[in-house]
Protein backbone atom coordinates (compact mmCIF):
# COMPACT_ATOMS: atom_id res chain seq x y z
CA UNK A 1 0.00 0.00 0.00
CA UNK A 2 1.36 3.44 -0.98
CA UNK A 3 0.64 6.00 1.74
CA UNK A 4 0.01 9.58 0.59
CA UNK A 5 -0.08 13.11 1.98
CA UNK A 6 -2.31 15.38 -0.13
CA UNK A 7 -1.72 19.13 0.27
CA UNK A 8 -3.79 21.78 -1.51
CA UNK A 9 -5.28 25.00 -0.14
CA UNK A 10 -8.47 24.56 -2.22
CA UNK A 11 -10.75 22.31 -0.16
CA UNK A 12 -12.79 21.11 -3.14
CA UNK A 13 -9.74 20.06 -5.16
CA UNK A 14 -8.04 18.43 -2.15
CA UNK A 15 -11.21 16.55 -1.21
CA UNK A 16 -11.90 15.38 -4.77
CA UNK A 17 -8.30 14.25 -5.26
CA UNK A 18 -8.33 12.35 -1.98
CA UNK A 19 -11.64 10.65 -2.83
CA UNK A 20 -10.48 9.64 -6.32
CA UNK A 21 -7.08 8.33 -5.19
CA UNK A 22 -8.71 6.38 -2.34
CA UNK A 23 -10.61 4.41 -5.02
CA UNK A 24 -7.29 2.87 -6.12
CA UNK A 25 -6.68 -0.45 -4.33
CA UNK A 26 -2.97 0.20 -3.71
CA UNK A 27 -3.21 3.87 -2.59
CA UNK A 28 -4.32 5.35 0.72
CA UNK A 29 -4.37 8.97 1.90
CA UNK A 30 -2.73 9.13 5.33
CA UNK A 31 -3.15 12.90 5.79
CA UNK A 32 -4.46 16.08 4.15
CA UNK A 33 -3.10 19.62 4.49
CA UNK A 34 -4.33 23.06 3.41
CA UNK A 35 -1.08 24.98 4.01
CA UNK A 36 2.63 24.40 3.47
CA UNK A 37 3.15 24.65 7.25
CA UNK A 38 0.65 21.82 7.84
CA UNK A 39 2.13 19.80 4.96
CA UNK A 40 5.59 19.84 6.56
CA UNK A 41 4.18 19.05 10.03
CA UNK A 42 1.97 16.21 8.77
CA UNK A 43 4.82 14.75 6.72
CA UNK A 44 6.82 14.51 9.97
CA UNK A 45 3.91 13.01 11.89
CA UNK A 46 2.56 10.51 9.34
CA UNK A 47 5.72 9.72 7.32
CA UNK A 48 3.87 9.00 4.05
CA UNK A 49 5.64 7.38 1.11
CA UNK A 50 4.75 10.28 -1.18
CA UNK A 51 3.61 13.87 -0.61
CA UNK A 52 1.47 15.37 -3.40
CA UNK A 53 1.87 19.13 -2.96
CA UNK A 54 0.14 22.03 -4.69
CA UNK A 55 2.85 24.45 -5.85
CA UNK A 56 0.77 27.59 -5.14
CA UNK A 57 -0.07 27.00 -1.47
CA UNK A 58 0.18 29.61 1.28
CA UNK A 59 1.97 30.81 3.35
CA UNK A 60 5.13 29.87 1.41
CA UNK A 61 4.90 27.79 -1.76
CA UNK A 62 4.86 24.05 -2.33
CA UNK A 63 8.46 24.07 -3.51
CA UNK A 64 9.66 25.45 -0.18
CA UNK A 65 7.62 22.79 1.64
CA UNK A 66 9.15 20.16 -0.66
CA UNK A 67 12.64 21.38 0.25
CA UNK A 68 11.88 21.14 3.98
CA UNK A 69 10.34 17.68 3.70
CA UNK A 70 13.21 16.37 1.55
CA UNK A 71 15.82 17.87 3.91
CA UNK A 72 14.66 15.74 6.80
CA UNK A 73 13.20 12.59 5.24
CA UNK A 74 13.18 10.25 2.25
CA UNK A 75 9.54 11.06 1.46
CA UNK A 76 9.13 11.42 -2.30
CA UNK A 77 7.48 14.59 -3.62
CA UNK A 78 5.10 15.20 -6.53
CA UNK A 79 4.37 18.87 -7.24
CA UNK A 80 1.05 19.77 -8.86
CA UNK A 81 0.71 23.16 -10.51
CA UNK A 82 -1.75 25.30 -12.42
CA UNK A 83 1.10 27.35 -13.93
CA UNK A 84 3.84 25.36 -15.62
CA UNK A 85 6.87 27.55 -15.03
CA UNK A 86 10.13 26.09 -16.40
CA UNK A 87 12.38 27.86 -13.89
CA UNK A 88 10.44 26.29 -11.03
CA UNK A 89 10.83 22.88 -12.68
CA UNK A 90 14.61 23.24 -12.64
CA UNK A 91 14.58 24.27 -8.96
CA UNK A 92 12.21 21.42 -8.12
CA UNK A 93 14.44 18.82 -9.74
CA UNK A 94 17.50 20.25 -7.99
CA UNK A 95 15.91 19.70 -4.54
CA UNK A 96 14.92 16.13 -5.36
CA UNK A 97 11.26 16.44 -6.41
CA UNK A 98 10.27 13.21 -8.18
CA UNK A 99 7.20 14.36 -10.09
CA UNK A 100 5.99 17.59 -11.69
CA UNK A 101 2.45 17.56 -13.11
CA UNK A 102 -0.17 20.13 -14.19
CA UNK A 103 -3.53 20.33 -12.39
CA UNK A 104 -5.19 19.22 -15.62
CA UNK A 105 -3.79 15.69 -15.08
CA UNK A 106 -6.65 13.13 -14.74
CA UNK A 107 -6.73 11.30 -11.38
CA UNK A 108 -6.16 7.92 -13.08
CA UNK A 109 -3.01 9.26 -14.73
CA UNK A 110 -1.85 10.78 -11.42
CA UNK A 111 -2.34 7.36 -9.78
CA UNK A 112 -0.02 5.85 -12.43
CA UNK A 113 2.54 8.60 -11.82
CA UNK A 114 2.35 7.96 -8.06
CA UNK A 115 3.09 4.27 -8.67
CA UNK A 116 6.05 5.14 -10.92
CA UNK A 117 7.45 7.56 -8.31
CA UNK A 118 6.96 4.94 -5.56
CA UNK A 119 8.98 2.53 -7.73
CA UNK A 120 11.85 5.04 -7.86
CA UNK A 121 11.17 6.67 -11.23
CA UNK A 122 10.71 10.36 -11.99
CA UNK A 123 7.90 11.94 -13.98
CA UNK A 124 7.88 15.38 -15.57
CA UNK A 125 4.94 16.49 -17.71
CA UNK A 126 6.19 16.54 -21.36
CA UNK A 127 4.84 20.06 -22.07
CA UNK A 128 6.55 21.49 -18.98
CA UNK A 129 9.78 19.71 -19.90
CA UNK A 130 9.63 21.07 -23.46
CA UNK A 131 9.09 24.65 -22.30
CA UNK A 132 11.97 24.30 -19.82
CA UNK A 133 14.31 23.52 -22.71
CA UNK A 134 13.31 26.65 -24.63
CA UNK A 135 13.12 29.09 -21.71
CA UNK A 136 15.07 32.34 -21.94
CA UNK A 137 17.82 33.02 -19.44
CA UNK A 138 16.93 35.40 -16.62
CA UNK A 139 17.98 38.98 -17.52
CA UNK A 140 17.88 40.16 -13.89
CA UNK A 141 20.77 40.46 -11.45
CA UNK A 142 20.79 38.69 -8.09
CA UNK A 143 20.07 41.98 -6.29
CA UNK A 144 17.16 42.78 -8.62
CA UNK A 145 15.72 39.32 -7.96
CA UNK A 146 16.19 39.81 -4.22
CA UNK A 147 14.20 43.07 -4.12
CA UNK A 148 11.48 41.62 -6.39
CA UNK A 149 11.18 38.59 -4.10
CA UNK A 150 10.77 40.92 -1.11
CA UNK A 151 8.22 43.06 -2.96
CA UNK A 152 5.92 40.07 -3.66
CA UNK A 153 4.54 40.35 -0.12
CA UNK A 154 3.19 43.83 -0.86
CA UNK A 155 5.80 45.44 1.39
CA UNK A 156 6.58 49.17 1.09
CA UNK A 157 9.92 50.41 -0.29
CA UNK A 158 11.05 51.16 3.28
CA UNK A 159 10.10 47.64 4.45
CA UNK A 160 11.85 46.04 1.48
CA UNK A 161 14.94 48.15 2.18
CA UNK A 162 15.02 46.97 5.80
CA UNK A 163 14.55 43.36 4.74
CA UNK A 164 17.37 43.33 2.16
CA UNK A 165 19.66 45.72 4.11
CA UNK A 166 19.79 48.44 1.46
CA UNK A 167 18.90 52.13 1.37
CA UNK A 168 15.35 52.89 0.09
CA UNK A 169 16.81 54.81 -2.88
CA UNK A 170 18.94 51.80 -3.85
CA UNK A 171 15.88 49.55 -3.66
CA UNK A 172 14.01 51.97 -5.97
CA UNK A 173 16.91 51.84 -8.43
CA UNK A 174 16.95 48.03 -8.49
CA UNK A 175 13.16 47.88 -8.92
CA UNK A 176 13.28 50.45 -11.76
CA UNK A 177 16.04 48.50 -13.51
CA UNK A 178 14.06 45.25 -13.19
CA UNK A 179 10.89 46.91 -14.52
CA UNK A 180 12.80 48.30 -17.51
CA UNK A 181 14.40 44.94 -18.34
CA UNK A 182 11.03 43.16 -18.15
CA UNK A 183 9.10 45.89 -19.99
CA UNK A 184 6.49 46.37 -17.26
CA UNK A 185 5.18 49.51 -15.56
CA UNK A 186 5.00 48.47 -11.89
CA UNK A 187 7.12 46.61 -9.37
CA UNK A 188 4.17 44.27 -8.73
CA UNK A 189 4.01 43.34 -12.42
CA UNK A 190 7.80 42.80 -12.44
CA UNK A 191 7.62 40.58 -9.34
CA UNK A 192 4.72 38.61 -10.81
CA UNK A 193 6.56 38.08 -14.11
CA UNK A 194 9.71 36.95 -12.28
CA UNK A 195 7.59 34.56 -10.20
CA UNK A 196 5.79 33.18 -13.28
CA UNK A 197 9.14 32.51 -14.95
CA UNK A 198 10.37 30.73 -11.85
CA UNK A 199 13.20 33.20 -11.21
CA UNK A 200 12.03 33.98 -7.66
23 and 86 in a single domain? The answer is yes
Residues 112 and 157 in one domain: no
Task: Looking at the structure, tell me whether residues 69 and 16 fall in a common domain.
Answer: yes
Residues 189 and 124 grouped into a single domain: no
pLDDT per position as a tens digit, 135-182: 667 899 989 999 999 998 888 999 999 999 999 999 999 999 999 999
Phi and psi, residue 79, nearest 5°: -95, 135
- pLDDT at position 135 is 65
Same domain for 113 and 170, yes or no, is no
pTM: 0.73
Q: Determine the Cα–Cα distance for residues 144 and 96; give it in Å rounded to an integer.
A: 27
Whether residues 45 and 123 share a domain: the answer is yes
Are 92 and 184 found together in one domain? no
**Structural domain ending residue among the three candidates 87, 113, 134:** 134
**pLDDT tens digits for 24-83?**
999 999 999 999 999 999 999 999 999 999 998 888 788 889 999 999 999 999 999 877
pLDDT surpassing 70 at residue 84: no
For position 105, which CATH number holds?
A: 3.40.50.2300
Number of domains in the chain: 2
- Are 101 and 147 members of one domain? no
> How distant, in Å, are the alpha carbons of 24, 152, 199 from that of 141?
47, 17, 10
Same domain, yes or no: 7 and 92: yes
How far lies 80's CA from each of 41, 57, 89, 159, 186, in Å?
19, 10, 11, 32, 29
Has residue 91 got a pLDDT over 90? no
Q: What is the pLDDT of residue 117?
A: 98
| For range 14-25, the mean pLDDT | 96
pLDDT of residue 137: 75
- Backbone φ and ψ for 121, nearest 5 degrees, come out as -95, 165
Last residue of a domain, one of 110, 134, 158: 134
Domain span at residue 6 reads 2-134
Check whether residue 156 and residue 57 sit in a common domain: no
pLDDT, position 44 = 97
Query: What is the predicted pLDDT for the residue at 198?
Result: 74
Predicted pLDDT of residue 136: 66
Amino acid sequence: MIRLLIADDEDLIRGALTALLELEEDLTVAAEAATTTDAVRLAREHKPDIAVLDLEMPPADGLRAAEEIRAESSIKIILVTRHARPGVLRRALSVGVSGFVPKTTPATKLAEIIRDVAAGRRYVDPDIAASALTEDDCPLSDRELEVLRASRTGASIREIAAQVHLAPGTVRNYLSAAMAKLGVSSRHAAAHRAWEEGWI
